[in-house]
Amino acid sequence: MKLTIFDLDNTILRGDSDYSWIQFLIEKEIVDVKKYKDKNDYFFNQYNQGTLDIYEYSSFAIGSFIEIGKEKISVIFEEYLSSVIEPMINVYALRLIHEHYENNDELLLASATNKILVDIIAKRLDFKNVIATIPETVDGELTGRIIKPAALGEGKLKLVREWMLENNFINFDGTTFYSDSINDLPLLCAVEKAVGVNPDSKLRHECISRGWEIIDLP
C-alpha cells in the first residue's frame, strides 16, 4: 500500500483555515475586532513569506478558543464549517483525493493548523489519519501553548516520520506529498514524489528547478 499525504490550506482548501477562522470571529464580532484583525494580518503575512513563528501564532489562535469558552464553541464551529470551510473546499482537489482512494492508497492529512480545527475539517473530508499542531492541555483545559514540534517545516517532517513508523511505513518509497507552500519544503524533499499544488512563488521556483510536478487547480 502506498502512502499519499495532503497538505490542507491552499491545497485542498482555497484559502487558509486558521486565518479564515479568526476572520470569521472578527466578522461575527465574537472577539475584539481590532486586536484580532491586526494580529491575524501580521501572522498571515509572516506565513506567506515563510517566516512564521508557529509557536507565537498558535498561542494567538488557540487563545480564541479559550476566550470563547467550551459552552459556545461547538455551535460556532458548526457555523464556521458550513459558512466558511464548505465553500473553500476545492472540488478538483476532492477528485484528486478520490483517485488515491480508488487506488487503495493510505491517505494522511498533514497541516500546520492546530488540531482542533483540522479534526473538524478532516471529518468533513473523510480523512481518518491526521497530523496537525497539537494544543497543550492540563486537566482537560487548553493552556494556550502547543506541544512541540509544531507541524510546520522540519516539525511536520518529524511528525510524519513518527506516524509512518507507527503505521508500518518504514521509509518514503512510493510516498506522494501534495502541497502549495514553501514551508513544506523539508517533507517535499523527503518523499519519493513531490507535487506542488497551486504553489506559492518560492515553491514554484523549487518545483521547476528540482523537476517536481506542478498542478494548477481551478
Mean pLDDT of the chain: 96
Average pLDDT over residues 131-159: 97
- Name the band, by pLDDT with cuts 50, 70 and 90, for residue 110: very high
Percent pLDDT > 70 in the chain is 100
pLDDT tens digits for range 23-58: 999 999 999 999 999 999 999 899 888 888 989 999
Query: For residues 101 and 78, is the Cβ–Cβ distance under 8 A?
Result: no
Quickly state the pLDDT bin for 148 (edges 50, 70, 90). Answer: very high
- The C-alpha atoms of residue 179 and residue 184 are separated, in whole angstroms, by 7
Report the C-alpha gap between 197 and 97 in whole angstroms: 13
Cα distance between residue 77 and residue 160, in whole Å: 27
Catalytic residue numbers read 7, 9
Contact present, 66 and 142 (Cβ < 8 Å): yes
pTM of the model: 0.96
How are beta strands 130-133 and 106-114 bridged, if at all? parallel
Instruction: Please report the domains of the chain, with CATH numbers, ordered by start residue.
Output: 3-215 (3.40.50.1000)
Quote the pLDDT of residue 49: 84
37 burial level (CB within 10 Å; 0-12, 13-18, 19+): middle
pLDDT score of 189: 98
Q: What is the DSSP string of the chain?
A: --EEEE--TTTTBSS-HHHHHHHHHHHTT-S-HHHHHHHHHHHHHHHHHT---HHHHHHHHHHHHHHH-HHHHHHHHHHHIIIIIHHHB-HHHHHHHHHHHHTT-EEEEEEEEEHHHHHHHHHHHT---EEEEPEEEETTEEEEEEPSSPSSTHHHHHHHHHHHHHTT--S-TT-EEEE--GGGHHHHHHSSEEEEES--HHHHHHHHHHT-EEE---
- Provide the percentage of residues in the chain whose pLDDT is more than 90: 94
pLDDT of residue 65: 96
User: pLDDT-based confidence at 179, cuts 50/70/90?
Assistant: very high
Does residue 14 carry a pLDDT above 90? Answer: yes
pLDDT 10s digits, 191-200: 999 999 999 9
Residue 50: per-residue pLDDT: 83
Residue 184, pLDDT > 90, answer yes
DSSP for 139-193 reads TTEEEEEEPSSPSSTHHHHHHHHHHHHHTT--S-TT-EEEE--GGGHHHHHHSSE
Average pLDDT of the residues in 159-186: 97
